[in-house]
A = this chain, B = another copy of it.
Amino acid sequence: MALSKKPYKGCRDFFPKDMRFRNYIFDIMEKTCESFAYEPYDGPLLEEVKLYLAKSGEELIGDQIYDFTDKGNRHVAIRPEMTPTVARMAAQVHREIVKPFRWYSISNFMRYEKPQRGRVREFTQLNIDVFGAPDAIAAYEVVDVACTLLKNYGADQKMFSIQINDRVVVDAVFKNILKLEEEQSLKLYKVIDKSKKVTTEALDKMIGEVISDENATLNFKKYLNLSSFEDLILFLKEYNLEEKASNFISFNDKIKDSNIKEYINFDPTIVRGLDYYTGIVFEIFDKHPDNRRAIAGGGAYANLLQIFNEQPLAGIGFGLGDVTLKDFLESHSLLPDLTKPSHDLMIAYFDEESEATALKLASTLRTEGVKVDLSLGVMRFKKVFKTAEQRNHTMLAMIGENERKDGVVQLKNLKTKDQKNIELESIKEIIDFLKNI
């Protein structure tokens, strides 16, 4: 039986037409991050499983991880996320380098998922983090990067919103208002995470399983219904807890004066699960009716270096996957037309004797930065135009017996129909002709 030509389940083949979109998406990620002075980093494809266990607990490890034992008996996994790696790397160098330091990576990951819309097994994720900066301004910057990134793709506030909360505030609500024990708090975090995805009845039932006290239940619902940052502060003030929101207030003050304020909303249901976050947390939501979902999320963390026995280092970051981002850009028709390749010039030659001339011209033009698609082998004149069209060329250079004798190349702009014979030595003139595209 012949082998399958399909990629491994849940993985993607990127043909050139797919890569053009991927590169477009990655290029804007890079440019945006670098415009904020974030510096690129990358880690290994494999990490030891105990690193993920230490950071995430059992949840992710169980089902979603591609783990195996290597030939040296190490229990390793293909990275399912970047955070443990970036924490490990930061732990190595944070004592020596100037703070704050800003890092970003665009790396591939694998998770054992059931493939479906927006979900594949191998994906790429942009991760950005800033370490060792004051909390509120660092949170502002990271949210600004996320927002600017989507704006750089052409998105606006009709298309996405950034939903924000602060884990310090949620912790205070749970502990000081609802008077929950730690174990109850953990359970209630899970309930919050699901609160938007279930019916009111199901939510009531879930709440009832965690909180028995009637007053606490009422207050929890009151919290869940807070619809603005101002309401949150009023709610906290009732219990003299506004000081718990000091960082969140400072963050919101910065937002108020900024050009990203129309994107930002307080959202009491954003807590980012049981994850390692300890401060401001946020998710970016697609507003498109067909695609209402989080396309990215992040937050602040203080204790990520603890597992390496290192002193605490404040950090905040976010991750954004390529699949959800592409779905977002497609839903809002924000992707440019990249269905066809673009080169600068096709060179064709009509007899064997012209080949060396064509090769030399191609080589010289490439040195000048021109992307040259050279026909490989002699071409019939009739076939040239069809091939140029198939390959999406606008500019065509042709060399045959006549041109060779005259020491020229025949250049043709297939759109304007301009054509001109230019001496082979006049590279500058040839390049000028190509510029009229």
Q: Are B91 and A11 in contact (CB under 8 A)?
A: no
Chain B positions within 8 Å of A137 at CB level: 355, 376-377
Query: When A308-B3, A309-B2 are in contact, do A108 and B110 touch as well, CB less than 8 Å?
Result: no
Q: Are B356 and A35 in contact (CB under 8 A)?
A: no
Report the Cα distance A316→B390, complex, angstroms: 22
Q: Taking the nearest CB of chain B, how far is it from the CB of A82, in angstroms?
A: 12
Among B11, B19, B50, B372, which residue has its beta carbon within 8 angstroms of that of A45? Answer: B11
Q: Are A42 and B66 in contact (CB under 8 A)?
A: no
Chain B positions within 8 Å of A40 at CB level: 14, 16, 19-20, 23
Q: Are A374 and B5 in contact (CB under 8 A)?
A: no
Chain B positions within 8 Å of A45 at CB level: 11, 45, 78, 108, 110, 122
Report the interface size for chain A: residues with CB under 8 A from the other chain.
92
Chain B positions within 8 Å of A374 at CB level: 36-37, 141
Chain B positions within 8 Å of A323 at CB level: none
A341 at the interface (CB under 8 A from B): yes
Chain B positions within 8 Å of A356 at CB level: 254, 257-258
Taken together, the copies of this chain in the complex come to 2
CB closest residue in chain B, given A137: B376
Q: Taking the nearest CB of chain B, how far is it from the CB of A131, in angstroms?
A: 11
Chain B positions within 8 Å of A240 at CB level: none
Chain B positions within 8 Å of A372 at CB level: 35-37
Chain B positions within 8 Å of A138 at CB level: 376
Report the Cα distance A5→B89, complex, angstroms: 7
Q: Taking the nearest CB of chain B, how far is it from the CB of A255, in angstroms?
A: 10
Report the Cα distance A106→B166, complex, angstroms: 41
CB closest residue in chain B, given A144: B363
CB closest residue in chain B, given A72: B9
A366 at the interface (CB under 8 A from B): yes
Report the Cα distance A437→B74, complex, angstroms: 51
Chain B positions within 8 Å of A133 at CB level: 376-377
Q: Mark A86-118, 1 if CB is under 8 A from B, else 0.
A: 001101110000101001000010101000000
Q: Taking the nearest CB of chain B, how far is it from the CB of A112, in angstroms?
A: 6
Among B89, B257, B371, B391, which residue has its beta carbon within 8 angstroms of that of A98? Answer: B391
Report the Cα distance A121→B373, complex, angstroms: 36
CB closest residue in chain B, given A91: B5
A71 at the interface (CB under 8 A from B): yes
Q: Taking the nearest CB of chain B, how far is it from the CB of A280, in angstroms?
A: 14
Q: Are A3 and B98 in contact (CB under 8 A)?
A: no
Q: Taking the nearest CB of chain B, how far is it from the CB of A321, in angstroms?
A: 15
Q: Taking the nearest CB of chain B, how far is it from the CB of A76, in angstroms?
A: 6
Q: Taking the nearest CB of chain B, how far is it from the CB of A278, in angstroms?
A: 18
Q: Taking the nearest CB of chain B, how far is it from the CB of A377, in angstroms?
A: 4
Q: Are A359 and B70 in contact (CB under 8 A)?
A: no
Residues of A that sit less than 8 Å from B by CB: 2-9, 11-16, 18-20, 22-23, 34-37, 39-48, 50-51, 54, 63, 66, 68, 70-72, 74, 76, 78, 88-89, 91-93, 98, 100, 103, 108, 110, 112, 122, 130, 133-134, 137-138, 140-141, 144, 148, 254, 257-259, 307-309, 341, 343, 355-356, 359-360, 363, 366, 369-374, 376-377, 387, 390-391
Given contacts A3-B54, A6-B92, 4 further A-B contacts (CB under 8 A): A14-B43, A16-B103, A23-B40, A259-B360
Q: List 29 A-B contacts (CB under 8 A).
A: A2-B309, A3-B54, A3-B88, A3-B307, A4-B48, A5-B308, A7-B44, A8-B74, A8-B76, A11-B44, A13-B43, A13-B88, A13-B92, A14-B40, A14-B41, A15-B89, A16-B39, A20-B40, A34-B343, A36-B366, A44-B122, A66-B68, A98-B391, A133-B377, A137-B355, A138-B376, A140-B359, A141-B376, A259-B363
